[in-house]
Structure 1
Amino acid sequence: FRNEEQQHSFNFPYQLGTGSFDTAQDAQTYTIKIQRGDIIILGSDGIFDNLFEDDILEEISRFICPRKGILRVKPQIISDALAYRAKKASEDLNNSSPFQCRAMQEGLYYVGGKKDDISVLVGVVTDSKEFSN
């Protein structure tokens, strides 16, 4: 599952904070079924403007045990890897990025990644017995 980005218009995302008219009640909410082992990624636009979905999946797959399909590392390691990769992509003037693709769809010329704040949180769904250990 991947939700749609909430934007007023291109490069004008909903934001909470000083000087913003957006409120928490403006946020989209979803109810989805989850299962043990699901990986949940929350990130700022600095992640999703610089990494395509395939880039994110490629990064995550480096940390999954192929035979068991479970993570071999703590979620923080994946978080750090995604943030690092997004930062590198944001600084690369020759990189093709999701932001560049959206800019071109809007008829704008843009090349490379987009420098921005980069925040990412990775969580893994477990059962209560696993959590207590």
Structure 2
Amino acid sequence: MSQSFNARHPSWRIRRFLEHFSSTGLIMATLLFALSLTPSLVPRPLLAQGIVSGLCISAGYAIGVLLHEAWRYLRLPEPRARLRRLVSRVAWLVCALVAALFLWQASNWQNGIRLLMGMEPDSATRGVSIAAIA
């Protein structure tokens, strides 16, 4: 019951995980995550913002997976494997950039709301903390 070297190598496991990860789910998760970071009428404490963002990521991924499965159930045409891999890689890159941009701006947006409400500005590490909590 021995496995080949490739099956035990960590990069193989990562590649295998990423192949089964839904790009549609990732896109929807990133979209809802980014929307959760936009300014609201009430400033959110750090922990609340992290929880809201994490829930949005989960809901977005679930919606994306359901949309993809509905597409497959309806037997609509899907791109070939090579194009699908390219789109997946581009989606990962774009989603990472969008998430980083919105995390970077989240502190400024929340501080703007906090100043309007007469509250003290929050720390600059807010984006990193939100990402860790989410």
> Taking structure 2 as the reference length, what is the TM-score of the superposition?
0.31
More strand by share: 1
Query: Which of 1 and 2 has greater Rg?
Result: 2
More helix by share: 2
> Taking structure 1 as the reference length, what is the TM-score of the superposition?
0.31
